[in-house]
Chain A
Amino acid sequence: MATTEASVIGGLKVKDEGQVRINKGMLHGLWALTNRELKKWYKVPVLLFLSIIQPVIWLGLFGKAMNFGALFTSTSFNIPGLNIPKATLDQLATQAMLSTFGTTDYFSFLAVGMLSFIILFTAMFSGMSIVWDRRFGFLDKLLSTPVARGSIVMGKVFSSVIRSLAQAAIVLVVAVVLGMDTGKITVVGLAGTFLALFLMAMGLSALFLMLALRSTDWQSQMAIMNLLNLPLLFASNALFPSKLMPGWLQVVAKLNPVSYATDAGRQLLLGVPGFAPLGFDFLYLTAFAVLFSGVGIFLSWRYLSR
């Protein structure tokens, strides 16, 4: 909507300003708010470095240490009395690995899980920034402007999504350097994987933001984060396939969006059989992202101001 100077500008009369086209659209300010958060991150390389160091340690230490593939191949055990040939044992091991992880390479299996891990751990911090904004009065200042309340929340969601995707890309590169199997990676597969990660990041960021909407104290926010992040990680197929979990845990894993993003990534990058059809993975993730973003925007109108 174009507005004349006279109707918008009450006080200051600026020379040569002429008619100012004020952008009164619903989305005005959204990118500025997103960029505000991003700046704090890309302008401080130390922060970027620290935020990827954790998954790299997980990949390098945990991933390399949990060398399931070597369970049989690197040992010289045998069943007493039966002299099973080494080749047979190796084949058994390969079959066991394939049926468990869908690949003989646990490191590659875990690497895809780490992509979800980094998304989860970045998204989890999205709520913190709104707690700080509230404490320092910045949120009140935002709320006194005509920016859409939903944009305040979505600006944080998008910045968190962009950050987490960038970090996931770095983790992927590190994984490849450390020996991830790249044989089946295609451009389409990569794009699909990042789409799945995008959807999960959006849903998770919106979820954690929603939990922080009314919070004024960061300790309780930290507690909520810790309460949610490890269960979300462990009760998923990110570290271990859910099909070998006890039944009740499988149910949780089946509901956990982290499982679906990881599953899509494994199917697309490693070509392993998934625990759900690829289409369903995306359907589930889309529903998750849309639902939580929608609820987040709705609650922002309701709860940001008191």
Chain B
Amino acid sequence: MLKMEEAAGNGNYESRNVIIEVKGLTKIFENKLKAVDSVTFSVYEGEIFSFLGPNGAGKSTTIKMLTTLLRPSEGDAVVCGFDLRKQPQEVRWSVGVVPQEYTADEDMTGLENIMLFANLYGIPGDVARKRADELLTLVELNEAAGRKVSTYSGGMRRRLELACGLVNHPKVLFLDEPTLGLDVQTRTAVWRYIRILKEQYGMTLFLTTHYLEEADGLCERVGIIDHGRIVRLGTTGELKSSVGGDAIELGIREKDVDLTSFIMKVDSVTSVVRENDHYRIKAPLGEEAAPAIMDAVRSAGYHVDRISLTKPTLDEVYLEYTGHKLRDEEANSQQVMAQQRTVRRARA
């Protein structure tokens, strides 16, 4: 595995092993559409990494390239120590994929599906059987294992996909929109499995999502991707503080005095804006700045009417870096159809 020599802006990630290293990866389709435009990033061993972006941003295309389903037009990547271009077969042996669509064979049972994929990964029958039992337990499908997949609900199918993707005990598991169209309950379950995989088994997870709460609650590092480019990448904390940190709203009884420059002098305050009857203050760490501001204001003889603290959400981060809210963009019709089919089946 490659050692990351310098991990600029990645907090305490310097010491971790890089398991996926992507350099200038680009995909231009036959119709000249540049789906992925020279993306460069690293994923560290044992982390949950995600691509956050709207439909058609290039998330799935990136995953398809990294799992050898699409040939990159330009650029290189090393996945689990193997060169994507020169050793695609080795990459396939070491990663697992949970695609966006429900791909399990409907005419077979859940168990048969898992056993088929175990066989495709060259796993001998007796070991495969043991792993299948284990995976079915993990995703809580033991009872349904003998039923045809066509009788499964959307949530069950998603869980089966997860089990199929884990059958070769991959070092890296790619999940393309793992909770697309799922109800809250199943979504929470999928998040739980993902956390188990990371915490108990030290697996590296690379997922794409267009749900902000998913990226925020589940992932350590997030790459915001839009129009095929990574517009910002960092830990969720870094991303949030990069938009100026927490916001503090402060109301002062003395309305006729302008305290803007006075508040600005308080430690760690980065900006102060006076709006009508209150001040909008930004500071990296609101819970430290707020008491300091109150103390300073009080000791100068003014009276605090009200104070509130809001933590930035990824929503704001997203808006800041892409210039638009996370929206459903027009993707090509086939993608939309596939996605609609998934959502429809998820709800069936």
Q: Which residues on A are within 8 Å of B, measured CB to CB?
A: 8-14, 17, 20-25, 28-29, 32-33, 36, 39-40, 43, 136-138, 140-147, 216, 305-306
Can you name 7 extra interface pairs (CB under 8 A) apart from A136-B103, A146-B120? A11-B173, A21-B124, A29-B122, A36-B108, A141-B99, A145-B117, A146-B92
Separation of A137 and B335 alpha carbons in the complex (Å) = 11
> Which of B69, B94, B115, B117 contacts A143 (CB under 8 A)?
B69
- A222 and B140 CA atoms in complex are apart in Å by 41
- The number of chain B residues touching the other chain, given as a range, is 35 or more
- Tell me the bound Cα distance from A140 to B101 in angstroms: 10
* B285 interface residue (CB < 8 Å to A): no
Which residue in B80, B102, B120, B197 is a CB contact (below 8 Å) of A142? B120
A140 to B335, CA, bound (A): 14
- 9 CB-based A-B contacts, threshold 8 Å: A14-B130, A25-B122, A40-B107, A137-B99, A140-B103, A145-B117, A146-B89, A146-B121, A147-B120
The 8 A-B pairs of least Cβ separation, nearest first, read: A10-B171, A11-B203, A23-B122, A32-B119, A137-B101, A9-B169, A146-B92, A137-B103
Instruction: Tell me how far the C-beta of A5 lies from the nearest C-beta in chain B, rounded to whole angstroms.
Output: 9
User: Given A21, A136, A146, which contacts B93 in the complex, CB threshold below 8 Å?
Assistant: A146
Residues of B within 8 A of A20 (CB): 123-124, 127
What sequence of 0s and 1s flags, for each residue 10-28 of chain B, a beta carbon within 8 Å of any chain A beta carbon? Answer: 0000000000000000000
Q: How far is the CA of A293 from the CA of B121 in the complex (A)?
A: 24
In the complex, how many residue pairs between chain A and chain B have their CB atoms under 8 Å apart? 121
**B338: interface (CB < 8 Å):** yes
- Find out whether the CB atom of A10 lies under 8 angstroms from the CB atom of B80: yes
Query: Whose C-beta in chain B lies nearest to the C-beta of A304?
Result: B69
Cβ contacts under 8 Å, B99 to chain A: 137, 140-141, 144
Q: Give A20's nearest chain B residue, CB to CB.
A: B127
Are A29 and B119 interface neighbours, CB within 8 A? yes
Question: Which chain B residues lie closer than 8 Å to A11 at the CB level?
Answer: 166, 169-171, 173, 197, 201-204
* A residues less than 8 Å from B278 (CB atoms): none
Binary contact track B114-137/A, C-beta < 8 Å → 1, others 0: 011101111110010011001000
Chain A residues with Cβ under 8 A from B241's Cβ?
none
| B contact residues vs A (CB 8 Å cutoff) | 64, 67-71, 80, 89, 92-95, 97, 99-105, 107-108, 112, 115-117, 119-124, 127, 130-131, 134, 164, 166, 168-173, 197, 201-204, 334, 338
**How close is A154's CB to chain B, nearest CB, in angstroms?**
14
List chain A residues, Cβ under 8 A from B123.
Answer: 20, 22-23
Check if B80 sits within 8 Å of A138, measured CB to CB: no
Point out which of B64, B70, B115, B168 has the most chain A C-beta atoms below 10 A from its C-beta.
B168
Q: Would B102 and A137 count as touching, CB distance under 8 A? A: yes
List the A residue with the shortest CB-CB distance to B166: A12
In the bound complex, how far is the Cα of B105 from the Cα of A32, in angstroms? 13
Residues of A contacting B119 in the complex (Cβ-Cβ under 8 angstroms): 28-29, 32
Residues of the B chain whose Cβ atoms lie less than 8 Å from the Cβ of A23 = 122-124
- In the bound complex, how far is the Cα of B173 from the Cα of A137, in angstroms? 18
Inter-chain CA distance A147–B93, complex, in Å, is 9
Known: A140-B99, A141-B97. A12 touches B203 (CB 8 A): yes
Measured CB to CB, the closest approach of chain B to A130, in angstroms, equals 13
